Amino acid sequence: MSSLAEGEEPVVAAEKVESPWRRFTADFAESRLALAGLGLLLAILVVAVLAPVISPQNPYDLAQLDVMDSKLAPGEPSSSTGRPYLLGTDDQGRDMLSGILYGLRISLSVGIASTVLALAIGLVLGLAAAYFGGWLDTVVMRLADIQLSFPAILIALILLAVLGQGVDKIIVALVTVQWAYYARTVRSAALVERQKEYMEAARGLALPRARIVLRHLLPNCLPPLIVVATVQVAHAIALEATLSFLGLGLPITEPSLGLLIANGFQYLLSGKYWISFYPGLALLLTIVAINLVADQLRDVLNPRLRR
Amino acid sequence: MLAFTLRRFGQSLLVLVLMSLLVFLGVYAIGNPIDLLVNPQADDFERARATAALGLDQPLAKQYLTFLTHAASGDLGRSFVYNIPAIDLILQRLPATMELALVATFLAVALGIPLGLVAGLKPHSFIGRGIMAGSILGFSLPTFWVGLVLIMVFSVQLGWLPPNGRGETTLLFGVPVSFLTRDGLAHLAMPAVNLALFKLSLMIRLTRAGTREAMLQDYVKFARAKGLSSRRVIGVHVLKNILVPIVTVIGLELGSVIAFAIVTESIFAWPGTGKLLIDSINQLDRPVIVAYLMVIVAIFVAINFVVDVLYSLLDPRVRLGGAAAHA
């Protein structure tokens, strides 16, 4: 970031004083597609958070379900209240729209929680590996190598086969397959940063080690991490959905989008597409929205593409 | 070359042993191994007999050694469900998975390289942008969701393709394959496309990036200046140079295609090892899970080994770099 200021003419730099945040938002807003993705993502987050308030029914309160309404096509009215089900109902007469809104909550929270945890673990290990080097570096990076030489889905499947079902277990599995990406990214960023002059200056001032690492090294390693983390949230959500679809992820008491899709799969061949199609669409929109934002973040935060 | 191959072989063996240790610790040491390895319906007498027979009263290191020697002689336990050696079950199902994986890889390569070339030669054209947008979509779409949509459209709505199974198979060199019969091809089409989609996107991106880079190189300018036709420049000079990384990725991705086949096989009820794994997990058929794991780890290690050796043949720097090449 500092190298950019050096390259510019001093006069121009004085005229165009912009805070980094303003420049960041302006750069981000350059792509309409990315803005659309961001808008969609925010909308999805809002409806997921507000699900208990805005959904037509509580899909997991059995008293609100009417078996007479089971497997209704989208738009068909309820037999008791006459109110139409916008996206149809599943085999138990559950409103699919409500099911999807609640499912989004679970999918998003599992995805975000596992990403944050993996980020924290990868950050600590990667920073430590880069800063201390030696055997710690070797052990951490060899572990990451072995981990990354096997596909994420395989490792997650094995872990869940051993551990069993549950929210905590799927988070453990998702963290296990994700930490290595962060550890590698942080390590390589930190190795570059620690050679720079500001780090030498910090060491020359004899600042405490903890302060050098946390206040000087860490903030400068963050941009690539943010990009990786955004992409990984989408991966985590897709992986959780896949595992739940295979019946290995979340238990039936925590129906994420993947579980809703799996539930509808058995009715697909009889033409009742809506039970799995719409949850799948919600999943797809979520992943595409995140990927659009991530793509633009990568371009904006990449110093090599800076104009 | 021989020294490199031998060293690399040693590393492969080391990874294999290391992974077997992890599998051993995962399945045998976490929880009560008797619960995992003996049929849950067995009575106390049976359990005591099994404990002694499995040597579970022995120290852990000795147990691991026993596990290794059994595994090395191909004994990975018997399936509770089918009551045949687990390894036989895996080997029975392996041809179906390999056929699916190879056809999917073939599709990804046969479509991905030409599409990537076009996108790389004309990055700003409508076609180039369209191909890239398609590949971004291919990365975003979850595999199982694409599978569902394929079934919805081609089996339920149009009724063109069968939604599950392998169809009619014929023997090719003693191995049952689907792609030689009409019925088998119809069954193979959707699973293969489903599995290929992600790799296709990857191939497009790789080829496009390689092409864009190669087009700026001096040797391409020189070949043009010599007056070679653009067909020859692209077909020989560019393609030859971008092929090295692509071959590596194809090889390495073959393993991941086999792993991803787990999802595709479950959706299309394709009778391969992936579906067997999911069924075994659901039925708690632990010996089969262990056998699957060991077989797939062996396949992965073998693929990595072959790719590394091939790569060192194509690119002498790898071999001369010596210790820089690792698992």
Dump pLDDT digits (tens) for B39-53: 667 777 777 777 776
Core vs surface per residue A109-130: b (16+ CB within 10 A) or e: bbbebbbebbbebbbebbbbbb
Q: Do B140 and A151 touch (CB under 8 A)?
A: no
Provide the total of helices (H) and of strands (E) in chain A, helices listed first.
14, 0
Angstrom distance (rounded) from CA A59 to CA A62: 7
In a mutagenesis test of the B interface, which of A147, A245, A275 is the best target, namely the one with the most B β-carbons within 10 Å? A245
CB B33 within 8 A of CB B67: no
Computed over its alpha carbons, how large is the radius of gyration of chain B? Answer: 24
> In angstroms, what CA-CA distances link A11 with A35, A82, A249?
32, 70, 58
Q: How far is A275 from chain B (nearest CA, A)?
A: 11
pLDDT at A12 over 60: no
Angstrom distance (rounded) from CA A205 to CA A210: 13
CB-closest option in A153, A273, A288 to B140: A288
Q: Does A177 touch chain B (CB under 8 A)?
A: no
Q: Do A291 and B30 touch (CB under 8 A)?
A: no
Task: List, for residues B205-230, the tens digit of each pLDDT value.
Answer: 888 888 888 877 888 888 888 888 87
Angstrom distance (rounded) from CA B127 to CA B131: 6
Q: Token pair for residue A207?
A: 């600042």
Q: Do A153 and B262 touch (CB under 8 A)?
A: yes
Q: Supply the DSSP string of A58-74, one letter for each residue.
A: -TT-GGG--GGGTTPPT
| Nearest residue of B to residue A270, measured between CA atoms | B156
Angstrom distance (rounded) from CA A54 to CA B258: 43
Partners of A77 in the β-ladder: A84
ipTM for the complex shown: 0.75
Q: Do B278 and A234 touch (CB under 8 A)?
A: no
CB-closest option in A158, A284, A295 to B293: A158
Core vs surface per residue B94-119: b (16+ CB within 10 A) or e: bbbbbbbbbbbbebbbeebbebbbbb
Q: What is the pLDDT of residue B318?
A: 60
Angstrom distance (rounded) from CA B74 to CA B71: 5
Model-level pTM?
0.80
CB contacts of B155 in chain A (<8 Å) are 269
3-state secondary structure of A182: helix
CB-closest option in A162, A271, A295 to B27: A162
Q: What is the pLDDT of residue A112?
A: 92
Q: Token pair for residue B19?
A: 């992974």
Task: List, for residues A91-142, the tens digit of each pLDDT value.
Answer: 776 777 888 888 888 889 999 999 999 999 999 999 888 888 888 888 888 8
Strand boundaries in chain B, DSSP class E: 170-172, 175-177
pLDDT at A78 over 50: yes
